[in-house]
C-alpha cells in the first residue's frame, strides 16, 4: 500500500491505518459484543493488505483493545507502527474521566507499554483536550516522554488551532487526529490549512462516518445493531434525523460515482479524505477481516476533479442544509 510521510519529520505510514476502537468490545462507548478471534483476524488481515499502522487507545474497551493489539503484534513489533493515546482514565466502576495531569500521562504511558507488550510507542497522542490542566504542562510531559525514548512521535487529537499553536510553541506536534469525512468537514476552514502550513501530519478518523458511508445503513439496519452499540444511543446527530436520512440518500447518489472506478462507496469515502492535500492518511475502523480487506482499496487511486465537484455539490444540496 502507498505510504506518505507523517508531517515534516514523522514516519512513512500507509494511506490507510486500522482503527481499533470497535475491537475493544463492550463498554460505555463500545460497538457491542466483539469476539477476540474476529479482532485478531482483523488485525492480521490489515497487515496482509499492506497496512503498516494501527490506531488504538487505552479507553477502547477499557484496556482491551490495547491488550489485543499487543498480543497480536508481539512477534512482529518492529514491522508495525503503533499509535495510542492518553487522557481518558477509568475507575473501578468503569466510569471514564478526562485527566491530562503530567503524572497521569506518565502513568498511562507505562500502562499502555505493558498492555501493548512493547518498550516504545510509535505515536503517542492526547486523546481529547480538557481544561483541567494547562495544555503546556501536559504537552511538556509528552515532550519528555519523547526525549526519553518511551514514545517516538507525539501528537494530539480533537484539538483546535489555538491549542495546536500552544503545543507547537513547546515542541513540534507530529500529528493531529481529527474527525473528517465527506459529511463531517468542519476542519477544512482553519485546522487543515494550519496543519499543512506547520508540517503537522493529519490522520483523519471516522472516514466512513462510523459505517454510515459504506452503503449498508437504513433505518431498519440501525435497529439491528446491538443494544449497547453507541450508534443506537439516539443522541448522535449522524444517527438521528434529519442527518441520518439525508446521509442514506447522499450515499445512494455516490453509488454511480464509486462504480465508475469499480470501487465501493466505502473505498470512495476513504479516497475522498485522502484527496485533501493536508491529510496524510485515514484511520479506517473495522471489526471483521473482510471489512478491512474491502476498505484497503480506498488507497492508491485518485478521484477526478469532476467527481470531486459533483460530490461537493451533492454535499451542499443534501447534507449542508441538515447541519
Ligand atoms: N481520536 C478520537 O477521538 C477518535 C474518535 C473516533 C474514532 N477514532 C479512531 O478512528 C478509527 C476509525 O473510526 P470509526 O471506527 O469511528 O469509524 P469508521 O472508520 O468511519 O467506521 C468503522 C466502522 O464501520 C463499519 N465498517 C467498516 N468497514 C466496513 C465495510 N467495508 N462494510 C461495512 N461496514 C464497515 C464497522 O462497524 P460495524 O460493522 O459495526 O458497522 C467499523 O467498525 C477508530 O477505530 C479509532 O481508532 C478516534
Residue having the nearest C-alpha atom to atom 11 of ligand 1: 19
Hey, how many other C-beta atoms are within 10 angstroms of the C-beta on 117?
16
> Which of 21, 87, 213, 239 gets mutated to test ligand 1 (max ligand atoms within 8 A of its CB)?
21
pLDDT of residue 219: 86
In contact, 143 and 104? CB cutoff 8 Å: no
DSSP-derived 3-state class of residue 98: strand
From ligand 1's centre to the CA of 21, what distance in Å? 7
Domain of 58 in residue numbering reads as 3-211+275-300
Distance separating alpha carbons of residues 268 and 259, to the nearest angstrom? 9
Question: Is residue 113 situated within a structural domain?
Answer: yes
Q: Given the CA of residue 294, which atom of ligand 1 is nearest to it?
A: 31
Q: Given the CA of residue 177, which atom of ligand 1 is nearest to it?
A: 1
Question: Is residue 155 situated within a structural domain?
Answer: yes
Residues 6 or more apart in contact with residue 96 via CB below 8 angstroms: 28, 29, 59, 62, 88, 89, 90
Residue having the nearest C-alpha atom to atom 8 of ligand 1: 205
pLDDT of residue 261: 98
DSSP-derived 3-state class of residue 239: helix
Q: Phi and psi at residue 96, in whole multiples of 5°?
A: -100, 135
Question: Is residue 264 situated within a structural domain?
Answer: no
Hey, how many other C-beta atoms are within 10 angstroms of the C-beta on 242?
12
From ligand 1's centre to the CA of 144, what distance in Å? 31
Average pLDDT across each block of 10 residues of the chain; the chain has 323 residues. List them in order: 97 98 93 96 98 98 98 96 98 96 98 98 98 96 98 98 98 98 98 98 98 93 91 90 96 98 98 98 98 97 98 98 95
Catalytic center residues: 60
Q: Given the CA of residue 229, which atom of ligand 1 is nearest to it?
A: 40
Distance separating alpha carbons of residues 323 and 318, to the nearest angstrom? 10
The CATH code of the domain that includes 51 is 3.20.20.100
In contact, 264 and 297? CB cutoff 8 Å: yes
Question: Is residue 21 situated within a structural domain?
Answer: yes
Q: Phi and psi at residue 88, in whole multiples of 5°?
A: -125, 115
Question: Is residue 323 situated within a structural domain?
Answer: no
Question: Is residue 156 situated within a structural domain?
Answer: yes
From ligand 1's centre to the CA of 56, what distance in Å? 12
The radius of gyration of the chain from alpha carbons, rounded to an integer in Å, stands at: 19
From ligand 1's centre to the CA of 154, what distance in Å? 23
From ligand 1's centre to the CA of 71, what distance in Å? 21
Which amino acids bring their CB within 6 angstroms of ligand 1?
19-22, 31, 55, 127, 157-158, 177, 205-211, 214, 216, 266, 283-287, 291, 294-295
Distance separating alpha carbons of residues 283 and 270, to the nearest angstrom? 9
Beta strands in the chain (DSSP E): 3-5, 12-14, 16-19, 53-55, 81-86, 88-90, 96-98, 121-126, 151-157, 175-177, 201-205, 281-285
The number of folded domains in the chain is: 1
As a dihedral over the C-alpha atoms of residue 220, residue 21, residue 323, residue 181, rounded to 10 degrees, the angle is -100
Question: Is residue 247 situated within a structural domain?
Answer: no
In contact, 125 and 83? CB cutoff 8 Å: yes
Q: Which three cell numbers stand for residue 136?
A: 503546556
Question: Is residue 88 situated within a structural domain?
Answer: yes
pLDDT of residue 233: 83
Q: Given the CA of residue 208, which atom of ligand 1 is nearest to it?
A: 20
> Which of 15, 19, 287 gets mutated to test ligand 1 (max ligand atoms within 8 A of its CB)?
19
Using CA of residue 63, residue 274, residue 197, residue 130, what is the dihedral sign?
A: negative
pLDDT of residue 244: 96
Amino acid at each position: 500500500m502507498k505510504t506518505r510521510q507523517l508531517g515534516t519529520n514523522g514516519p512513512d505510514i500507509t494511506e490507510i491505518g486500522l482503527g481499533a476502537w470497535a475491537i475493544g468490545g463492550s463498554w460505555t462507548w463500545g460497538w457491542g459484543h466483539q469476539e477476540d478471534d474476529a479482532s485478531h483476524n482483523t488485525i492480521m488481515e490489515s497487515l496482509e493488505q499492506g497496512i503498516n499502522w494501527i490506531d488504538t487507545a487505552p479507553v477502547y474497551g477499557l484496556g482491551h483493545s490495547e491488550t489485543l493489539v499487543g498480543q497480536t503484534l508481539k512477534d512482529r513489533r518492529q514491522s508495525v507502527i503503533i499509535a495510542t493515546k492518553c487522557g481518558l482514565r477509568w475507575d473501578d466502576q468503569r466510569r471514564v474521566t478526562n485527566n491530562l495531569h503530567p503524572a497521569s500521562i506518565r502513568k498511562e504511558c507505562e500502562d499502555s507499554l505493558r498492555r501493548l507488550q512493547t518498550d516504545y510507542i510509535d505515536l503517542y497522542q492526547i486523546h481529547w483536550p480538557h481544561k483541567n490542566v494547562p495544555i503546556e504542562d501536559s504537552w511538556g510531559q509528552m515532550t519528555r516522554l519523547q526525549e526519553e525514548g518511551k514514545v517516538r512521535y507525539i501528537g494530539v487529537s480533537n484539538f483546535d488551532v489555538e491549542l495546536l499553536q500552544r503545543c507547537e510553541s513547546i515542541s513540534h506536534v507530529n500529528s493531529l487526529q481529527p474527525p473528517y469525512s465527506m459529511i463531517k468537514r468542519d476542519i477544512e476552514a482553519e485546522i487543515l490549512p494550519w496543519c499543512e502550513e506547520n508540517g503537522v501530519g493529519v490522520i483523519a478518523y471516522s472516514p466512513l462516518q462510523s459505517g454510515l458511508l459504506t452503503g449498508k445503513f437504513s433505518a431498519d439496519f440501525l435497529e439491528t445493531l446491538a443494544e449497547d452499540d453507541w450508534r443506537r444511543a439516539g443522541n448522535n446527530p449522524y444517527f438521528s434525523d434529519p442527518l441520518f436520512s439525508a446521509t442514506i440518500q447522499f450515499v445512494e447518489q455516490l453509488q454511480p460515482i464509486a462504480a465508475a472506478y469499480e470501487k465501493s462507496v466505502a473505498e470512495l469515502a476513504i479516497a475522498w479524505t485522502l484527496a485533501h492535500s493536508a491529510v496524510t492518511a485515514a484511520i479506517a475502523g473495522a471489526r471483521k477481516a473482510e471489512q478491512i480487506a474491502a476498505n484497503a482499496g480506498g488507497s492508491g487511486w485518485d478521484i477526478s476533479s469532476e467527481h470531486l465537484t459533483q460530490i461537493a455539490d451533492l454535499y451542499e444540496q443534501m447534507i449542508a442544509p441538515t447541519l
